[in-house]
Amino acid sequence: MDFKVFDVYNIRARLSVYIIVIAPMVLTLYILYEPIRSLSFSAIFVAILSAFSNYLFALQRYWQKNRDYKKNVETFLYLEDERLFPCTKQRYYHKLSKIDSNFDIFNTPSNDEDFKNACSSAIQWLINNTRNNKLVQEENMLFGFYKNLLCFKYLGVIVSILSLLVLIVSVPKFSTFFQSKTNISLFTMDIFFVIFWIIGVTEKILSILTEKYAQALFGALDSQIN
């Protein structure tokens, strides 16, 4: 029996994000409280997290309901967009027009809404027909990972700060806090996570990954359509 809880995409683009979100709290509790380190408790804890991840999947969809990330990719095909060389864009228009009669509009590109809707449809076609392309898969997982990371940015900051508070509260006398190497290590780790979420997770980085994903999709178009 082939038993899979998560496929590769879910592991790399979703589960790994949730692990990063809860990592400071889990590590802080694991090091501070010895009972948590037992094998039985760890097994139960992992099982609960695995089940709870389904709720996080749903929460992520809810938070992203007003974000059309596919639109970030389709704008590369807009006539007024200048991120692609004109000759390259014309080549893609020509290839897309050969896919289906509904894409004939790519023979006469414009800035109107019908053309932009066609761009959206074309990107969806590419997504549906490049699932076995290794480069597209890789860029898609990286793009998916980072947009999910950005979605949970504020939650990540909150969890990291709460972890820091748990650490501080666990010390009877704050004056002795920095006398413990363990406290110093955990304090440094929690501060690192706060800085990571604030500085390391940004819209600018997502825009770069969006561009790489779009390039991979269009590269697949070159190889699929004659």
Q: Over the stretch 183-196, which tens digit does the pLDDT of each residue have?
A: 899 999 999 999 99
Of the candidates 82, 124, 143, the one whose C-alpha atom is nearest the C-alpha of residue 221 is: 124
Please tell me the predicted confidence (pLDDT) of residue 2: 46
Structural domain harbouring 191:
8-66+137-206
Query: Tens digit of pLDDT for each residue in 44-92?
Result: 877 877 777 778 778 878 887 777 777 788 899 998 988 888 898 999 9
Residue type, 77: L
User: Is 211 inside a domain boundary?
Assistant: no
Asked whether the beta carbons of 136 and 162 are under 8 A apart, the reply is no
Residue 57 resides in a domain: yes
Instruction: Answer yes or no: is 113 within a domain.
Output: no
Count structural domains, the chain. Answer: 1
104, part of any domain? no
Are 56 and 64 in contact by the 8 Å Cβ rule? The answer is: no
Separation of alpha carbons 225 and 93, rounded Å: 11
DSSP string, 76-96: GGSTT--SS-HHHHHHHHHHH
First to last CA, the chain: 41
